[in-house]
């Protein structure tokens, strides 16, 4: 039996060093996918509805369990900030 490189609990991916890099990678990948989907419908949806959709799909995903990111190095957190700035 071999040990797993990462484990996932409550949607948070944990690695042995608790660097949270794998978790942030997953969140960033998911958010950019959702942003691409939302951009495809940008012209068809009023601005206020688009803001609601961005909040529902992006902000909520970034905010979920973000307390586990306390103390994580800045380079990892900047990737999440890039997602939040990308929808603007």
Total length of the chain: 88
In whole angstroms, give the CA distance from residue 25 to residue 19.
11
> How many angstroms separate the first and last alpha carbons of the chain?
47
pLDDT tens by residue, the chain, 88 residues: 777 788 888 889 888 888 899 999 999 999 999 999 999 988 899 999 999 999 898 999 999 988 899 989 999 999 999 998 886 5
**pTM for this prediction:** 0.84
In whole angstroms, give the CA distance from residue 72 to residue 22.
12
């Amino acid at each position: 039996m071999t040990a797993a490189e990462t484990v996932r609990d409550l949607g948070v991916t944990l690695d042995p060093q608790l660097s949270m890099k794998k978790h942030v990678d997953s969140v960033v990948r998911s958010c950019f996918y959702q942003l691409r989907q939302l951009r495809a419908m940008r012209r068809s949806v009023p601005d206020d509805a688009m803001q609601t959709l961005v909040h529902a799909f992006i902000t909520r995903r970034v905010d979920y369990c973000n307390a586990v990111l306390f103390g994580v190095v800045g380079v990892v957190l900047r990737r999440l900030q890039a997602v939040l700035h990308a929808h603007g």
